[in-house]
Amino acid sequence: MLTTATDIEALAWFGRALADPIRCRILPALQEGPGYPSDFADALEISRTRLSNHLACLRDCGLVVGVPDGRRARYELADDRLGHALGDLRSRRSFWYATGRPPRTGSRRTPP
């Protein structure tokens, strides 16, 4: 059970990071390995400006870090454990849909 303010705050930051579909696409891309914003923007078919804004949010949430590489910055997950956590979330989602029992949400919107 989450008992400390730090635990609750950490979970809130993680939720904020996952609250946007674009950030939910960026994190698995980073899970595959570090890369440069221009490459991620091209792969995700979004503008570099838009990607930069989302990377800033993920950085502020403590999930990614920018590593200086000459005149550029290479982005990667801030901790290898985040990659494992993302994998666990994805496998859980697969389980929900494979069994025909998706999690209950308060909305009628179909998950992506």
pLDDT at residue 41 is higher than 80? yes
Write down the pLDDT at residue 98: 64
The count of other CB atoms within 10 Å of the CB of residue 90 is: 12
The rounded distance, in Å, linking the Cα atoms of 82 and 61 is 12
| Closest residue by Cα to residue 112 from 37, 39, 28 | 28
Look up the pTM and report it.
0.73
- Check residues 79 and 107 and name the one with the higher pLDDT: 79
